[in-house]
Each structure stands twice: as structure tokens, then as C-alpha cells.
Amino acid sequence: MPDAGRIVGLAFATFLGAEQPETFMEGREFLASRLAAYPDGGFAALRDRQLIGSNMLANWGSFGFFGPLTVHPAHWGAGVGKRLMERTVERFDEWKIKHAALYTFADSAKHHRLYQRFDFWPRFLTVLMTKSLSDVAGSSRSFTAFRRFSELEERPRAECLAAARELCEALLEGLDVSAEIRIVARAALGESLWLWSDAGLEAFAVCQYGAGSEAAPAACYVKFAAVRPGPEAERWFGKLLRACETLALQAQLSSIDAGMNLERRQAYRAMLRGGFKVNMYGVQMFRGNDPAYNREEVYIIDDLR
């Protein structure tokens, strides 16, 4: 795993032209938690018993995605990425994934050519967004109340997981992010938060931060968040964003990172109104050009990095 992590940093740093590739993405861990959550979803590329690349897959029920798929720059152009992709689509088929996707650079024809060979096609852009909490921390606005998954006993946790599956089912048949919630709790990678009404679960978010997480130092990374569809979805989405701010401030973090696919236009506009700014544009590619849950009226936060 340490070798794989170094290759991830080196590959991205080389592609992006970073000045100090040996420290690029330092403080972020993209591999260990993913392999722990999906033990049969990790692949290593070996040459002469030496690790030269890897890929990590996530199984969200009927939905799956992969990444980061990385190859040591010394082996670029040698077909390593193609071999990793062959095993990736085989595993998706074994998992009976109905909707498969990835996130990649929007302007990289090289990456697009590779993934299109396996029937993954670019759709709408995905933006990586950040909100600084400096202004919020000094304001007099009231915090948003929520339930923390880490503070619940076993039975309430099971009820939360069941409610999250039911909410996700309303957005995409078979969608289930229970593994993401469990690994955050088990490995102490952050917190999952829950917003309830008298009618039931209205919204939840899986947030990573701290050592060993996928978050940048001092940032709260919203790995996945969702709101129950319906006429009140926009209002609850606003409450969910404020709850994430509250969580981050209580954890003494300085910013929130969250991704949004522009096909979910209403949610994107709500994030802009909420003070989030775009840092980077990428693109999600979907197998068979299938949009999965990316629809204008859907309030989901993700980026599939």
C-alpha cells in the first residue's frame, strides 16, 4: 500500500507538472480506506514482481465506480492501464453493477481514449468545489442540529443504515452506500451526519477528515451526501450544507470540499448560493453513456474521485 500511494502521487504530479512530485497530494490517503471498504475491489499491476500501478473499485449496490487508476510514469504507454481496465470491468460484471462510472480530467484525450475502449463515455462536467469557513466561524448564525453516526448504539445505527438505503433507493434503484458509512465509523476517518423530520430521514452526508482520510489537511471532504426527493428537497439540501459546515467547525477544520456533477443543476446552483466556489473542472464518464442518478432535480453530492 505505501508503494501504491507513492505511485498515485507521482503519477498525478507528473501528469499535472507539479514542481515537487515527491510531496504531491501529501496528507491524503486514497487507497487504504477504499481497500478496507471493498476488499475484493483492489487490483495491482506487477512487472517482475514490482508494483507499477493499481486501481480501486467501489461497490454502491447497483452503482459502481473506480479510481484512482494510476500507473508509474516509467511504464506509461505500455498497456498497463488497459490490463487494469480489463480486470475492472470483469469485477463490475461479477458484482452485477448496473451503472458504472469514473472521474477523470476533462481535457485529457489520452484518458478518454482508454476509457472509451471499455464503453465509458463523458457526460456533463463535474466540478470540485470548496467553501472557506473563515467567514462562517466568525458569524452569529445558528448552527444546524444533526445526529452523528459515531454516537449511536448498534440498533440506532442499523436503523440509520436502513433509512439511508431507503432514501438512496428513491434516487436510484439499488443504490447503497452503507460500506462508505461503515468504513468512516470503523476507521475513524470522519463522521456521517443525519437530518431527520417527523416523516423520517430527509438527508445524510458521509464526511471524511483527519489522518488517514481522503480529505486534504484541515478540510472536510464530503464523500457522498443525498437528500430525499420531493418538493422540500431544496430546503433540506440547504440544511444539509449548513450541517456539514457545523460539523467541520466543530472539528476545527478550515474548509469544506465537495464535488458536484453539473447535470444536477439545481444542486449545483444551491451550492453556489451557499458560498461554494469552483476549484477544478473534471468529467464523469459512464459505461454505456448511462446517467445513473445524474438528473437535474437530484440533490446528491459526489465527485467519484
Are 70 and 169 found together in one domain?
Answer: no
- The dihedral through the CA atoms of 238, 305, 286, 87 has a sign that is negative
Which pLDDT band holds residue 20 (cuts at 50, 70, 90)? Answer: confident
C-alpha cell at 167: 432514501
What is the per-residue pLDDT for 135? 72
Q: pLDDT over 70 for what percent of the chain?
A: 97
Contact 14, 70 (CB under 8 A): no
User: Mind listing the pLDDT tens digit for each residue in 161-215?
Assistant: 999 999 999 999 999 999 999 999 999 999 999 999 999 999 999 999 999 999 9
What is the per-residue pLDDT for 69? 97
Any domain includes 210: yes
Taking the whole predicted model, whether its pTM rises above 0.85 is answered as yes
What is the residue type of 291? P
Any domain includes 280: yes
Residue 41, pLDDT > 90, answer yes
Composition of the chain by helix, strand, coil, percent to 5: 35, 30, 35
What is the per-residue pLDDT for 141? 56
What is the per-residue pLDDT for 224? 98
Are 290 and 170 found together in one domain?
Answer: yes
Structural domain for 75, as ranges: 2-97
Any domain includes 124: no
Name residues whose C-beta falls within 8 Å of residue 282's C-beta, 6 or more positions apart in sequence.
Answer: 103, 104, 105, 106, 125, 126, 127, 128, 303, 305
Are 89 and 140 found together in one domain?
Answer: no
Q: What's the chain's average pLDDT?
A: 94
What is the per-residue pLDDT for 143? 61
Which pLDDT band holds residue 22 (cuts at 50, 70, 90)? Answer: confident
Query: Of the candidates 97, 115, 148, which is a domain's last residue?
Result: 97
Are 189 and 244 found together in one domain?
Answer: yes
Residue 124, pLDDT > 60, answer yes
- CATH code for the domain in which residue 45 is found: 3.40.630.30
User: Mind listing the pLDDT tens digit for each residue in 133-170?
Assistant: 987 755 545 567 899 999 999 999 999 999 999 999 99
Contact 128, 222 (CB under 8 A): no
Contact 205, 225 (CB under 8 A): yes
User: Mind listing the pLDDT tens digit for each residue in 62-91?
Assistant: 999 999 999 999 999 999 999 999 999 999
Query: Of the candidates 97, 119, 150, which is a domain's last residue?
Result: 97
C-alpha cell at 253: 477544520
User: Mind listing the pLDDT tens digit for each residue in 230-281?
Assistant: 999 999 999 999 999 999 999 999 999 999 999 999 999 999 999 999 999 9
What is the per-residue pLDDT for 180? 98
Region 49-60 average pLDDT: 97
H-type alpha helices, 117-232: 134-137, 154-171, 178-186
Query: Of the candidates 77, 97, 117, which is a domain's last residue?
Result: 97
What is the per-residue pLDDT for 25? 77
Are 89 and 136 found together in one domain?
Answer: no
H-type alpha helices, the chain: 2-16, 32-37, 80-95, 109-116, 134-137, 154-171, 178-186, 233-250, 265-273
User: Mind listing the pLDDT tens digit for each residue in 104-119?
Assistant: 999 999 999 999 999 9
Q: Nearest-CA neighbor of 121 among 147, 100, 94?
A: 100
- The dihedral through the CA atoms of 139, 152, 235, 219 has a sign that is positive
Are 233 and 289 found together in one domain?
Answer: yes
